């Protein structure tokens, strides 16, 4: 390029010296093409506006979507071509190559380009930054921009009907032996009792007070709820190295399917996992417990399911906290009796010992072994037993 | 001065008054006026500190009405809202002590922190315009408007309002963060003393009641009414919606369009009015399917999509082809 | 769109125009070099044939005899037409052969550009992004289309040299010849630039196809349209820009050098002032110092020369500074002395240019305040009596007029969608047909009252609204689609 700029300068000098329409014409053309055009292109390139359609997107495995990027040329100078390349992670690339749309962008024109995505596997992905290249009509100069427009794409784990996991379609948790007390429910008047120092005045039952001529206060029952807590083992050492990733994915998918099943039955479900969260979730402090585990208190409703699936989309196995540490930590968090659903690679004797400890405390434990069942006799335990074992079928694994 | 012009003048005065204490919130304030003139209640969904309370106080002060605030907590009892009859041992009679609901503008802060029972007692009062305590009915003084707030980010320790209860809110509004310029202006505005203390009433409750009557007389041409019905019915057959808007929703849309037209100084409603209020009136009334929620679909997006699909019916434009 | 199909034509036209210009200028120097008019057809024909043949059919395995026969097919008729005279045949044959060869080079290069896979291998072509980057990001000294640039600039420079030689020898072209030269010059410039732009598009299309980039189907059309605009603007600029304004010409420099060489460091010969133009004070008989014998004109001229020398020095320094700046990648701390001064001069010039550009940008950003949109609001005149056709079917009146407008606009691509309100449609109409015009607001405001209000429009109001609507209808009918892209 330098050669051509020097040549342009020479043409200008020669035109000034020699005079004549032809010499000036050539000099002017050279100045326009090699002097003004690159400057204008660089200036217009800096003003090119690139923006994304959204900041977050939620998909299920197998879903196809497209990400749109708007290009706006606020200047009068048209761009001969504008090429946009998005940093699409491999798990989202549709086809064998990353899309690279190329458009012409006229003066003051707005165009939208789309990047097709396919949700291949669970995860939290970050799209961006966008790399934009634009050029002139003669191949003299190009300008390159890197736009930090980012978008998060969440691919939820595969949620499958229980029969696909080899589990009973009407998985029953039996009758609840224990109820957790949350708050006194003003809708559940249990009775009245005499006023004691410290009772709030607003709980005074005035008709009873009038009748007895002594202050009487209302007593309320507590809100009760069924407590299902999913405990997901994502300790790397517990999974077989030869098919590590399929096993981990099956465990996550099993946990997601169980959570969906429980919440869709209208029951409350929580989650605890000895996992690390995707690096792209640093801002989601709401799904990481202060202890470092991923933990949600049991709750009902679609929002809870959404939160659990969101966390499961981003969990990754780790190698510093084993499942027994998670159990110990969770035991502290348990309020009253609960139904514990453990999703583990296999039912080791040590695991059954740990389960026995929970059973002594009045909890129910359901173990879902995703890789191998060592204690087949437990598979025949009647429904409603305090300890039950289920073998998760690998048949429904998603092809990776 | 005709009715519509009177409403428009009221709207301008109110917006000016509110704008003097709350910078850059003209659009939400306008929607609140729509709700006030329609006799509806408002759900403010936003993070703390964006001016929800101030907006409610400014409206109360501007109409010269009474204002009260209820901070909702899990141990809040229905009686804490409605009031209760206390036995007076001297006279041997029960004395009614009115609760905060007896004000004209009521701010129920963080309504989703109250237990469902307490929430429903508040919502019943909102729906019926009266409360019954110990068998005695107390009619709430009009104009009566509840502004309930809930934080859309926090879920811990909350009892989200059931979708069926959300239907009782006339509109759902989000204030949003101010822009940098607005925030700068706000800092200097509040530098010495909050202007809310100096806010003067621009009207009186009696006048608001008459304006509410005037709004109900705004003409709605037949095709506009049909458009309202088509929109609401389309929400019921949308593939991403489990439960569409109720007839209460269509009535709210109808009234909101009337109020907006009157605020614009018109005595007739345009389809544009319906479109403008459709999202705040309808979006929160839709119960989306579980998979739609998980995919991040919002009620507002569904209503916006319907607005670009449902025929307005102004003219038989389908005859022109496309 | 297949760009390759038009590129040989552009190459042929460019080559023929260049050879035509060169031949015409050459004929100004000597009558021996005169060429008959029928030769132009041969030049164009041979150039087109050669370019297309090379672009589509010529391969390295094409026998040399075929190429000779191909050239002979053009030279043979020329030999016959010049009366089988070898001396008269030589110059036309030479021009035709040059034209044929130049066009052949362009055709071959087009063929080469297409064969990315041959050059970089199939594997390279399948992962062509690095090649693509190297050709689209100009970090190197080579342009994406170095061959075409060298060819076009070299041809243009050759013609310019001939033209300058003619200009300096004061061989004047006039009348039809001047017109011919200007037309051929314009054709050469236009076809040359179009060839460069088109070849670049072709090159990128080839690479994009290898890289499987998702290219917008409208890109070639938009590219060529914008290219045509840019070429036209560039040519207009070149033709309209001032020429021959330089005070330092080859003549003055030559005279200066001659004077310096003959008289040492003395000033060159200055224009002699006429005796009556001498300063009046010299006529008073006062003794004048020696320097004053040069006179005031001499002083001014000397100052001008010094200024020119300073300017030329500054330009040279700036050019040197630019080169050094590029070479050192902006690390001017490494420079000392004159090189550093040169870079500083360049930086100052650059800063000044940027400031001027910024000032121009600020000027551009000051826009007139647009009028506010009309909204139906309070304070409107209430209709004295309802319109007679308020509830009539839309065969007549304002509603019928809207339907007519919508039908006409629909034919022009602006369809009134079912989900649009009349006001929204009015805004779309305003954007498409009536930028900054209030007539749309007036009509649609009136329409809304007629359609939706209980009272409707009064007679006078309806007339006004109908007039506005008729104006809109006529405007839409007359709209040809050239005012703004639909």
Q: Does any CB of chain A come closer than 8 Å to the CB of residue B294?
A: yes
CA A170 to chain centre: 28
Report the alpha-carbon distance of residue C477 to residue C486 in Å, rounded. Answer: 15
Residue A207 in tokens: 């008709």
C486 Cβ contact list (under 8 Å, min separation 6): C412, C413, C414, C432
Nearest to C418 among B221, B265, B312 (CB): B312
- Does residue A93 carry a pLDDT above 90? no
Cβ(C144)–Cβ(C135) under 8 Å?
A: yes
Please compute the mean of the pLDDT values over residues A84-90 and round it to a whole number: 84
Q: Are residues B193 and B223 in the same domain?
A: no
- Which residue segment(s) compose the domain that B187 sits in? 1-75+101-217
- Does residue C260 carry a pLDDT above 60? yes
The band of B184, judged by pLDDT with boundaries at 50, 70 and 90, is confident
- Residue with the bigger pLDDT between C370 and B43: it is B43
Q: What value, to the nearest 5°, has the Cα angle with vertex C423 and ends C419 and C429? A: 95
Which of A16-20, A77-81, C117-121, C260-264 has the weakest average pLDDT?
C117-121
Please tell me the total count of domains within chain B.
2
- Does residue B319 carry a pLDDT above 60? no
Please compute the mean of the pLDDT values over residues A17-36 and round it to a whole number: 88
B305 Cβ contact list (under 8 Å, min separation 6): none
Determine phi and psi for B45, rounding to 5 degrees.
Answer: -100, 105
CB-based contact B314 C376, cutoff 8 Å? no
Q: How many CB pairs under 8 A join A and C?
A: 155
Domain edges within chain A: 2-46, 49-155, 162-178+225-396, 185-222
Q: Are residues B48 and B187 in the same domain?
A: yes
The band of C271, judged by pLDDT with boundaries at 50, 70 and 90, is very low
Question: What are the start-end ranges of the E strands in chain B?
Answer: 42-45, 67-71, 83-88, 93-98, 105-109, 130-133, 136-139, 145-150, 171-173, 241-243, 287-288
- Does residue B38 carry a pLDDT above 60? yes
Residues C67-122 have pLDDT tens digits of 889 899 999 999 998 888 888 889 999 999 999 999 999 999 888 888 766 666 55
The band of A337, judged by pLDDT with boundaries at 50, 70 and 90, is low
Q: Are residues B287 and B243 in the same domain?
A: yes
The band of C404, judged by pLDDT with boundaries at 50, 70 and 90, is confident
Q: How many CB pairs under 8 A join B and C?
A: 82
Q: Are residues B295 and B213 in the same domain?
A: no
CB-based contact C394 B5, cutoff 8 Å? no
The interaxial angle of helices B26-38 and B271-282, nearest 10 deg, is 90
The band of A183, judged by pLDDT with boundaries at 50, 70 and 90, is low
Q: Are residues B207 and B63 in the same domain?
A: yes
Q: Does any CB of chain C come closer than 8 Å to the CB of residue B267?
A: yes
Considering only alpha carbons, which residue of chain B is nearest residue C407?
B320
Backbone torsion region of residue A295, taken as left when φ is above 0, otherwise alpha when ψ lies between -120 and 50, otherwise beta: beta
Nearest to C419 among B8, B264, B311 (CB): B311
Nearest to A21 among C203, C218, C243 (CB): C243
Give burial (CB, 10 Å; 0-12/13-18/19+) of A323: buried
pLDDT at A256: 93
| Averaged pLDDT score across all residues of chain A | 81
Q: Are residues B18 and B109 in the same domain?
A: yes
Three-state SS for C76-114 is HHHHHHCCCCHHHHHHHHHHHHHHHHHHHHHHHHHHHHH
Q: Are residues B112 and B68 in the same domain?
A: yes
- Does residue A45 carry a pLDDT above 50? yes
Between the CA of residue C270 and those of A156, B41, C246, C253, C259, what are the distances in Å? Answer: 90, 96, 19, 14, 10
| Averaged pLDDT score across all residues of chain C | 76
- Does residue C297 carry a pLDDT above 60? no
Write down the ipTM of this complex: 0.79
A17: helix, coil or strand?
Answer: helix
pLDDT at C85: 85
Query: Residue C467: which H helix or E strand, with range?
Result: helix C459-478
Please compute the mean of the pLDDT values over residues A139-165 and round it to a whole number: 85
pLDDT at C374: 29
Between the CA of residue B318 and those of A379, C451, C473, what are the distances in Å? Answer: 65, 18, 19
Residue B35 in tokens: 């709700």
pLDDT at C282: 37
Residues A298-328 have pLDDT tens digits of 877 777 888 889 889 988 898 888 899 889 8
Nearest to B318 among C379, C418, C421 (CB): C418
The interaxial angle of helices B3-19 and B205-216, nearest 10 deg, is 130
Cβ(C151)–Cβ(C106) under 8 Å?
A: yes
pLDDT at C102: 93
CB-based contact C378 B265, cutoff 8 Å? yes
CB-based contact B290 A302, cutoff 8 Å? yes
C218 Cα to chain B: minimum distance (Å): 22
- Residue with the bigger pLDDT between B1 and A373: it is A373
Which of A368-372, B316-320, C156-160, C242-246 has the weakest average pLDDT?
B316-320
Residues B102-136 have pLDDT tens digits of 888 888 888 887 777 778 778 878 878 888 877 77
- Does residue B267 carry a pLDDT above 70? yes
Determine phi and psi for C355, rounding to 5 degrees.
Answer: -65, -40
Say if B93 falls within a structural domain.
no
A97 Cα to chain C: minimum distance (Å): 8
The band of A190, judged by pLDDT with boundaries at 50, 70 and 90, is low
Say if B158 falls within a structural domain.
yes
The band of A227, judged by pLDDT with boundaries at 50, 70 and 90, is confident
End of a domain among B217, B251, B280? B217
Q: What value, to the nearest 5°, has the Cα angle with vertex A378 and ends A373 and A383? A: 125
pLDDT at C95: 93
Give the CA radius of gyration of chain C: 35
Mutate which: A37, A75, A104, vs C, most C CBs within 10 A: A104
Q: Does any CB of chain A come closer than 8 Å to the CB of residue B84?
A: yes
Q: What is the CATH number of the domain that holds B41?
A: 3.40.50.300
Q: Does any CB of chain B come closer than 8 Å to the CB of residue C400?
A: no
A156 Cα to chain C: minimum distance (Å): 29
pTM of the model: 0.62
Q: Are residues B124 and B163 in the same domain?
A: yes
Query: Residue A389: which H helix or E strand, with range?
Result: strand A387-391
Nearest one of C222, C205, C216 to C3, comparing CA atoms: C205
- Does residue C266 carry a pLDDT above 60? no
Nearest to B294 among A209, A213, A309 (CB): A309
Residue C216 in tokens: 């917008």
Which of A339-343, C212-216, C245-249, C324-328 has the weakest average pLDDT?
C324-328
- Does residue C377 carry a pLDDT above 70? no
The band of C292, judged by pLDDT with boundaries at 50, 70 and 90, is very low
Cβ(C387)–Cβ(C458) under 8 Å?
A: yes
CB-based contact A202 B84, cutoff 8 Å? yes
Query: Residue A57: which H helix or E strand, with range?
Result: strand A56-59
pLDDT at A221: 62
Nearest one of C262, C342, C244, C253 to C305, comparing CA atoms: C253
Say if B81 falls within a structural domain.
no
- Does residue A292 carry a pLDDT above 70? no
- Residue with the bigger pLDDT between A307 and C304: it is A307
pLDDT at A173: 55
Please compute the mean of the pLDDT values over residues C372-380 and round it to a whole number: 33
The band of B280, judged by pLDDT with boundaries at 50, 70 and 90, is very high
Residue B251 in tokens: 């009535």
CB-based contact B155 A303, cutoff 8 Å? yes
End of a domain among B217, B240, B259? B217
A205: helix, coil or strand?
Answer: coil
CB-based contact A202 B86, cutoff 8 Å? no
Query: Residue A117: which H helix or E strand, with range?
Result: strand A110-118
Report the alpha-carbon distance of residue B212 to residue B219 in Å, rounded. Answer: 14
- Does residue A112 carry a pLDDT above 80? yes
Please compute the mean of the pLDDT values over residues C207-220 and round it to a whole number: 84
Please compute the mean of the pLDDT values over residues C439-464 and round it to a whole number: 83
pLDDT at C327: 73
CATH of domain A49-155: 2.60.40.10
Which of B186-190, C162-166, C461-465 has the weakest average pLDDT?
B186-190
Q: Are residues B302 and B286 in the same domain?
A: yes
Q: A162-178+225-396 sits in which CATH class?
A: alpha beta
- Does residue C373 carry a pLDDT above 80? no
- Does residue A98 carry a pLDDT above 80? no
Residues C38-73 have pLDDT tens digits of 898 999 999 999 999 999 998 888 888 888 898 999
Domain edges within chain C: 3-240, 250-274+293-365, 397-478
Which of B45-59, B177-191, C56-70, C360-374 has the weakest average pLDDT?
C360-374
The band of C443, judged by pLDDT with boundaries at 50, 70 and 90, is confident
- Does residue A43 carry a pLDDT above 70? yes
Subunits with 3+ C-beta pairs closer than 8 A to A: B, C
pLDDT at C49: 94
pLDDT at A288: 57
Please compute the mean of the pLDDT values over residues C235-254 and round it to a whole number: 83
The band of C300, judged by pLDDT with boundaries at 50, 70 and 90, is low
Q: Are residues B143 and B207 in the same domain?
A: yes
C269 Cβ contact list (under 8 Å, min separation 6): C255, C259
Q: What value, to the nearest 5°, has the Cα angle with vertex C29 and ends C27 and C32? A: 55
Query: Residue A185: which H helix or E strand, with range?
Result: strand A184-194
């Amino acid at each position: 390029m330098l050669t051509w700029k020097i040549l342009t300068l020479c043409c200008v000098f020669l035109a000034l010296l020699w005079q004549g329409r032809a010499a000036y014409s050539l000099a002017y053309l050279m100045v326009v093409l090699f002097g003004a055009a690159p400057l204008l292109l660089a200036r217009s390139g800096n003003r090119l506006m690139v923006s994304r359609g959204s900041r977050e997107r939620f998909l299920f495995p197998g879903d196809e979507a497209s990400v749109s990027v708007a290009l706006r040329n606020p200047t009068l100078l048209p761009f001969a071509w504008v090429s946009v390349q998005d940093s699409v992670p491999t798990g989202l690339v549709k086809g064998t190559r990353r899309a690279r749309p190329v458009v012409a962008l006229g003066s003051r024109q707005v165009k939208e380009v789309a990047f097709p995505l396919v949700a291949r596997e669970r995860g939290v992905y970050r799209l961006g930054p966008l790399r934009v290249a634009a050029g002139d009509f003669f191949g003299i100069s190009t300008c390159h921009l890197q736009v930090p427009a980012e978008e998060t794409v969440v691919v939820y784990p595969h949620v499958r009907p229980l029969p696909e996991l080899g589990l009973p379609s009407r998985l029953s948790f039996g009758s609840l032996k224990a109820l957790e007390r949350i708050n006194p429910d003003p809708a559940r008047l249990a009775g009245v009792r005499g006023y004691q120092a410290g009772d709030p005045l607003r709980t005074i039952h005035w008709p009873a007070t009038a009748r007895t001529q002594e202050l009487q206060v209302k007593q309320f029952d507590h809100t009760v709820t069924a407590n299902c807590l999913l405990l997901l083992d994502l300790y790397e050492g517990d999974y077989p190295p030869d098919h590590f990733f399929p096993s981990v994915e099956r465990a996550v998918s099993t946990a997601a399917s169980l959570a969906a099943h429980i919440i869709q039955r209208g029951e409350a479900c929580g989650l605890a996992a000895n996992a690390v969260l995707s690096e792209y979730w640093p801002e989601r402090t709401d799904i990481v417990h202060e202890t470092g585990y991923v933990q949600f208190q049991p709750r009902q409703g679609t929002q809870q399911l959404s939160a659990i699936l969101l966390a499961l989309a981003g969990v990754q196995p780790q190698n510093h906290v084993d499942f027994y540490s998670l159990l110990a930590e969770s035991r502290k968090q348990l309020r009253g009796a609960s139904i514990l659903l453990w999703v583990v690679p296999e039912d080791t004797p040590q695991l059954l010992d740990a389960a026995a400890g929970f059973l002594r405390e009045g909890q129910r434990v359901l173990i879902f072994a995703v890789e191998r069942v060592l204690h087949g006799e437990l598979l025949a335990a009647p429904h409603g037993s305090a300890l039950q074992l289920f073998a998760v079928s690998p048949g429904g694994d998603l092809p990776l | 001065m005709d009715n519509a012009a009177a409403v428009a003048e009221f709207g301008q005065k109110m917006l000016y008054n509110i704008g003097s204490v709350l910078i850059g919130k003209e659009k939400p304030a306008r929607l609140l006026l729509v709700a006030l003139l329609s006799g509806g209640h408002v759900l403010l969904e936003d993070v703390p500190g964006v001016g929800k309370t101030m907006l409610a106080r400014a409206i109360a002060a501007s109409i010269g009405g009474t204002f009260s605030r209820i901070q909702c907590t899990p141990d809040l009892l229905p009686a804490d809202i409605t009031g209760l009859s206390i036995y007076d041992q001297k006279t041997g009679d029960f004395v009614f002590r009115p609760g905060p609901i007896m004000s004209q503008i009521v701010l129920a802060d963080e309504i989703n922190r109250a237990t469902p029972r307490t929430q429903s007692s508040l919502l019943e009062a909102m729906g019926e315009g009266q409360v019954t305590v110990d068998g005695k009915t107390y009619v709430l003084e009009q104009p009566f408007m509840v502004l309930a707030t809930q934080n859309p980010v926090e879920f811990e320790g909350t009892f989200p309002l059931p979708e069926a209860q959300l239907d009782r809110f006339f509109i759902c509004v989000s204030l949003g963060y101010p822009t940098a310029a607005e925030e700068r202006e706000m800092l200097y505005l509040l530098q010495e003393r909050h202007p809310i203390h100096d806010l003067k009433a621009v009207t009186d409750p009696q006048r608001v009641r008459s304006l509410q009557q005037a709004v109900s007389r705004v003409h709605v041409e037949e095709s506009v009414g049909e458009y309202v019905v088509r929109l609401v019915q389309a929400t019921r057959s949308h593939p991403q919606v489990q439960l569409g808007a109720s007839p209460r929703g269509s009535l709210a849309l109808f009234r909101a369009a009337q109020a907006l037209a009157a605020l614009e100084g018109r005595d007739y409603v345009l389809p544009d009015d319906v479109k403008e209020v459709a999202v705040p009136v309808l979006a929160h009334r839709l119960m989306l399917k579980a998979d739609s929620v998980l995919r991040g679909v919002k009620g507002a997006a569904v209503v916006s999509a319907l607005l670009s699909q449902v025929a307005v019916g102004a003219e038989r434009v389908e005859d022109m082809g496309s | 769109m297949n760009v390759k199909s038009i590129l040989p034509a552009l190459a042929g036209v460019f080559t023929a125009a260049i050879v035509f210009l060169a031949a015409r200028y050459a004929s100004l120097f000597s009558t021996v070099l005169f060429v008959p008019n029928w030769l132009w057809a041969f030049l164009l024909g041979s150039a087109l044939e050669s370019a297309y043949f090379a672009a589509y059919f010529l391969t390295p395995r094409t026998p040399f005899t075929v190429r000779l026969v191909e050239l002979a097919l053009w030279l043979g008729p020329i030999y016959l037409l010049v009366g089988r005279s070898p001396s008269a045949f030589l110059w036309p044959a030479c021009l035709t052969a040059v034209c044929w060869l130049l066009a052949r080079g362009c055709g071959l290069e087009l063929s080469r550009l297409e064969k990315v896979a041959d050059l970089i291998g199939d594997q390279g072509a399948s992962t062509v992004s690095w090649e693509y980057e190297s050709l689209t990001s100009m970090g190197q000294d080579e342009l994406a289309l170095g061959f075409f640039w060298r060819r076009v600039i070299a041809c243009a420079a050759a013609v310019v040299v001939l033209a300058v030689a003619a200009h300096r020898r004061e061989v004047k072209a006039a009348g039809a010849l001047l017109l011919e030269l200007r037309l051929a010059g314009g054709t050469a410039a236009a076809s040359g630039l179009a060839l460069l732009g088109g070849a670049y598009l072709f090159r990128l299309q080839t690479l994009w196809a290898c890289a499987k980039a998702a290219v917008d189907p409208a890109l070639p059309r938009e590219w060529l349209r914008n290219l045509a605009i840019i070429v036209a603007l560039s040519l207009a600029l070149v033709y309209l820009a001032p020429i021959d304004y330089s005070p330092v010409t080859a003549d003055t420099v030559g005279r200066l050098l001659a004077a310096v060489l003959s008289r040492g460091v003395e000033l060159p010969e200055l224009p002699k002032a006429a005796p009556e133009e001498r300063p009046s004070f010299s006529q008073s008989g006062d003794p004048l110092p020696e320097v004053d014998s040069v006179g005031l004109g001499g002083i001014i001229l000397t100052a001008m020369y010094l200024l020119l020398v300073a300017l030329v020095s500054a330009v040279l320094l700036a050019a040197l500074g630019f080169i050094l700046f590029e070479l050192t990648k902006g690390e001017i701390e490494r420079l000392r002395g004159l090189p550093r001064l040169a870079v500083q001069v360049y930086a100052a010039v650059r800063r000044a240019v940027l400031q001027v550009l910024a000032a121009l940008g600020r000027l551009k950003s000051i826009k007139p305040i647009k009028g506010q949109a009309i909204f139906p609001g309070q304070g409107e005149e209430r209709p004295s009596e309802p319109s007679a056709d308020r509830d009539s079917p839309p065969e007549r009146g304002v509603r019928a007029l809207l339907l007519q407008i919508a039908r006409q606009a629909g034919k022009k691509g602006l369809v009134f969608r079912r989900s649009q309100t009349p006001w929204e449609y009015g805004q779309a109409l305003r954007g498409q047909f009536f930028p900054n015009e209030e007539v749309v607001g007036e009509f649609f405001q009136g329409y809304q009252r007629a359609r939706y209000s209980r009272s409707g429009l009064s007679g006078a109001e309806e007339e006004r609204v109908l007039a506005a609507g008729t104006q809109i209808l006529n405007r839409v009918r007359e709209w040809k689609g050239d005012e703004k892209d639909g």
